[in-house]
Amino acid sequence: MLFPDVHSAASLTVSPDRVQHFTFDSVSLTCEGNFTEWRVRKFSEDGRLSDCRRMTGSTCNIYTSKSDTGVYWCESGSGEFSSAVNITVQNDGNGPILVSPVHPVTEGASVSLSCSLKTQKILSNVFFYHNDKLIQNDTQGELKISAVSKSDEGFYKCQYSGRESAQSWMSVKGEQDQNI
């Protein structure tokens, strides 16, 4: 689930910059723009709307658990909204996550997706899937797309040692939309 992009003077940065996270990861969501008051809002998988409980200035700090999975965005005190991003927390401590960008990728840009374990960041012999179709078995453990096109948009997941990551949606935006 992903809310549409909106034209806004507000933006949200996620660190580390990836959709999927392990449980007990430290994740920061930072609101940026010319506003003094911020809140980070979340729409959870079960349909509840909530605000970040651990705000420090314009940054929400999360020590991830499965309940942190959801759609996040920033809202200023004057009602400006950032674009929304998905955050998925993987519940299986032994399974892989797909490392993919939080924000849409611009057509023509390059992007790298990888598969990671909590205990091992660089993996080899990884299978990558796009919309449930096997697209690459990479001994390097990385899927590189040198010039992203609209056809690259969709759901991605990885498989390592018979275990699959959750799938994540990778959005592709046109070059004319770069400033969104």
CB neighbour list of residue 21: distance below 8 Å, 6 or more residues apart: 27, 64, 68, 87, 88, 89, 90, 97
157 token code pair:
């997941």
- The backbone torsions φ and ψ at residue 151, rounded to the nearest 5 degrees and listed phi first, read -70, -15
Closest CA to 40 of 85, 92, 2: 85
* CA 94 vs CA 24, 52, 116, 165, 177: distances in Å: 13, 28, 10, 10, 39
Q: Which of 123, 108, 106, 101 is nearest to 168 (CA)?
A: 101
Residue range 155-167, pLDDT digits in tens: 999 999 899 999 9
pLDDT at 173 over 70: yes
User: Identical fold at 10-90 and 97-173?
Assistant: yes
DSSP 68: G
Using the predicted structure, report yes or no on whether residue 5 has a pLDDT greater than 60: no
6 pLDDT higher than 80: no
Domain ranges of the chain: 10-90, 97-173
DSSP-derived pairing of the beta strands 20-22 and 85-90 = parallel
d(CA 64, CA 27): 7
* pLDDT at 9 (0 to 100): 77
User: 10-90 maps to which CATH number?
Assistant: 2.60.40.10
Superfamily in which the 97-173 domain is placed by CATH? Immunoglobulins (2.60.40.10)
Pairing state between β 85-90 and 97-99 = unpaired
pLDDT of residue 91: 77
CA pair distance 78, 87, nearest whole angstrom: 25
177: phi then psi, degrees, rounded to nearest 5:
-95, 15
Please determine, for residue 4, whether its predicted confidence score (pLDDT) is greater than 70: no
Tokens of 146: 């040198």
Q: What is the pTM of this model?
A: 0.86
